[in-house]
Amino acid sequence: MSQDTIVAKRYAKALFELAKEQNKIAQVEEELKFIVAVLKENSDLHKLIKHPGIGTVSKTALLKNIFESQLSEITFSTLLLLIDKGREELLESLVGYFVTIASEALGQAKAVVYTPVVLPQAELDHIAATFSQLIGKQIRVETAIDTSLLGGIKVRIGDRLYDGSLSGKLERLQKSLNSTQAL
């Protein structure tokens, strides 16, 4: 495990503990995701924040103008702490680890649902309810479009893949036929 990974996990754990004390876990998670989304949308801002030639004072002033009124104190303070310590490159890792820690603490699991087309929210809710009963945790659904799927869905929860796609069913059928022909 790299030093950056260890440090990002420590920051995430400390932020989680603060958010838990203030009963703001969900709010902090949404704010962290918001920061990352803004940085991804604006590549120039992302480059400025990560540029080693731009001083801490300039970065802090820029972030205050953009984020201070939109974030809680603990989220904004954490962002400034990363800048102050020269660890701005850890932001995305910190967000990922925070989400993982929060999900585990709240008894939740993330499910990535792969489909060939966009599904209505009602279907996603049904999928979440079905898998929630299966694994005994609340499911947080993320969607991904996979045009290589002929139909059906695939669902990844942690390291498990549930394949309900048409291509997966055809593959299993072919294996079954091949094994019976070998007999």
Average pLDDT over residues 115-127: 94
State the Rg of the chain over Cα: 21
Please report the pLDDT score of residue 169 as a whole number. Answer: 85
Rounded CA gap, 133 and 39, in Å? 36
Please report the pLDDT score of residue 30 as a whole number. Answer: 94
Class of the 3-104 domain?
mainly alpha
- pLDDT averaged over every residue in the chain: 91
The boundaries of every CATH 1.10.520.20 domain in the chain are 3-104
Residue 172 has pLDDT above 90, yes or no: no
Residue 183 has pLDDT above 70, yes or no: no
142: left (phi over 0), alpha (psi -120 to 50) or beta: beta
The boundaries of every CATH 3.40.30 domain in the chain are 108-181
Residue 176 has pLDDT above 90, yes or no: no
In the β-sheet with 108-115, what is the strand arrangement from edge to edge?
Answer: 138-145, 108-115, 152-157, 160-165
pTM over 0.75: no
27: its two tokens = 């709010």
Q: Which CATH topology does 108-181 take?
A: Glutaredoxin (3.40.30)
Amino acid at 31: E
Please report the pLDDT score of residue 23 as a whole number. Answer: 94
Give me the half-sphere count of Cα atoms (radius 13 Å) on the Cβ side of residue 54: 15
